[in-house]
């Protein structure tokens, strides 16, 4: 199982390639060390999954019914938002321009560990989605973790 935490500042090169930080590469499961899945996020960000973690989500979405209009719509949206990439020998992944555009990524990137996956953010947009108020953070923690 993958275990990603922390925040990393990275850069895209002119071709749209991102070098994964060494700490992230070492957290990739052995069976997923070269194949990654990039998904357009619900916010203006990208989600990066090791193949092993993505397969768990894939199984749930693929099991939805093609005979139910809402489920079919979700499947269509989900699968069209997915791109499979491979790490090259230098540990870089090439991210398609259309995928980069979804998250407004040009050069600077913030990678955020989210447990079983990573999020990629434009640094300016990332700031808009942060909790600045410690009280709000405490309230959310209590609401979702204090059971």
Domains defined for the chain, CATH in brackets: 7-145 (3.40.1550.20)
Per DSSP, helices labelled H in 1-147 are 22-27, 51-62, 69-80, 97-102, 123-128, 134-145
User: pLDDT in tens for each of the 147 residues of the chain?
Assistant: 678 999 999 999 999 999 999 888 888 876 556 899 999 999 999 999 999 899 999 999 999 999 999 999 999 999 999 999 999 888 899 999 999 999 999 999 999 999 999 999 999 999 999 999 999 999 999 999 986
pTM: 0.90
């Amino acid at each position: 199982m993958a275990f990603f935490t922390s925040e990393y500042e990275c850069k895209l090169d002119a071709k749209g390639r991102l070098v994964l930080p060494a700490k992230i590469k070492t957290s990739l499961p052995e069976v997923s060390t070269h194949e990654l899945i990039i998904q357009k996020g619900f916010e203006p960000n990208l989600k990066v999954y090791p193949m092993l973690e993505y397969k768990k989500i894939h199984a749930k979405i693929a099991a939805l019914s093609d005979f139910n209009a809402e489920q079919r719509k979700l499947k269509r949206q989900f699968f069209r938002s997915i791109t499979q990439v491979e790490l090259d020998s230098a540990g870089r992944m090439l991210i398609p321009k259309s995928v980069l555009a979804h998250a407004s990524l040009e050069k600077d990137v913030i990678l955020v560990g989210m447990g079983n996956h990573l999020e990629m953010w434009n640094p300016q947009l990332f700031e808009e989605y942060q909790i600045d108020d410690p009280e709000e953070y405490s309230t959310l923690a209590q609401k979702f973790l204090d059971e």
